[in-house]
Amino acid sequence: HGSLGEVWDEQMSSSMLGKRLRKVVQNYQAMNKYGVPFHTKGGADSGGGPKRTGPELLCQLKGKVGVTTLTPELKPFSSLPWAPLLPPRPLTSDLGPFRSCAVVSSAGSLKHSGLGKEIDSHDAVLRFNAAPTVGYEKDVGTKTTVRLINSQVMASDDHRFLSSSLYSAGILVAWDPSPYSSDLNEWYNRTDYPIFLQYQKYRRLHPQQPFYILHPRVEWQLWDTIQANMAEAIQRNPPSSGLLGTVLMMSLCKVVHVYEFLPSRRKTELCHYYQRFYDAACTLGAYHPLLYEKNLVKRMNQGPDRDIFSHGRVTLPGFNSFNC
């Protein structure tokens, strides 16, 4: 059954990946689809400076990342006819604060975890994309307070985003990668997927369900923080939903438990607990700088390694629970 020594190694680097995955990551590292400027290529710590401690990282994250969502008065939305569909106030003004929160990664290692009751015992639960609860209650629980979805899921025919009951529970928060500049006009004219079209359609079909759009600045603030703490150049793509959702909940909750983001003893190449698809890239990253996200989360974790090993559980303080 393995040992504690096998929990996530916070020094993980692309050189420790298998040959195939290392190639894929290297290819992404060479690309720069979103126009990340070159001066941020190497991090502040890449010169061999002292590594930040967990508490220092938490403070840096709190200082650099401001979770916010689009509101109708922001340009260019203010001059568009559908602006009134956007919530008048940002998510962080409308929701919480919560005492304890769970972030449920969609990892295959949740399968047979029996974590459902524990996850449901939290005041708020965040899930990702098309991750279901029906049929998986024993392992992932039943409660959904927030569902963070990417624009690809919103636009894909397979996910039946506009009609599936999967998306009808809780508050929806959508995101799509913008250019690094986070210029809203530039983003509006070239989103990765048609997030705004799908947003309008969904809002008209389900006007009662709260639905926010993440300000794309958040992704790049988070990206800057990851790169600033890594010795190697990370993929110049936005962080994964997993880290975005974690930081979102750290803005709303006193304490956040993240499940199976750092893999437990159940670690597996099974990509999602709800699909029969195997790929190590789901856990280690290819497009997203997921490897480095996990290194930072491991360093910030305030719980024992035993929690990671047995429950895949990480404990992070909410941004309002500590002073810097």
Q: Which of 144, 240, 251, 295 touches ligand C5P (CB under 6 A)?
A: 240
- Among 75-83, 105-113, 179-187, 314-322, the segment contacting ligand C5P (CB under 6 A): 105-113
By CB under 6 A, residue 237 contacts ligand C5P: no
Distance of CA 90 to the CA centre of its chain: 18
> What are the residues whose beta carbons fall under 8 Å from the beta carbon of 16, sequence distance 6 or more?
9
Q: In the structure, how many helices (H) and strands (E) does the chain have?
A: 13, 7
Q: CA 220, 224, 230, 231: dihedral to nearest 10 degrees?
A: 110
Is residue 224 within 8 Å of residue 110, measured between CB atoms?
no
196 binds ligand C5P (CB under 6 A): no
Q: How far is the CB of 176 from ligand C5P (least distance, A)?
A: 13
Q: Tell me: does residue 222 bind ligand C5P (CB under 6 A).
A: no
- With respect to ligand C5P, which residue has the nearer C-beta, 129 or 235? 129
Out of 87, 216, 242, 312, the only residue in the binding site for ligand C5P (CB under 6 A) is 242
DSSP 3-state of 198: helix
How many positions of this chain bind ligand C5P (CB under 6 A)? 15
20: Cβ contacts below 8 Å, ≥ 6 apart:
none
Should residue 282 be labelled a site residue for ligand C5P when binding is judged by CB under 6 A? yes
* Residues 122-141, interacting with ligand C5P (CB under 6 A): 128-129
Count of residues making up the chain? 324
Compute the distance between CA of residue 50 and CA of residue 57 in angstroms, rounded to an integer.
12
Enter the tokens of residue 33.
């689809």
| Residue 324 CB, nearest approach to ligand C5P (Å) | 26
Site for ligand C5P in 201-220 (CB under 6 A): none
Catalog residues that contact ligand C5P under the rule CB under 6 A.
Answer: 105-108, 128-129, 240-242, 261, 271-272, 282-283, 290
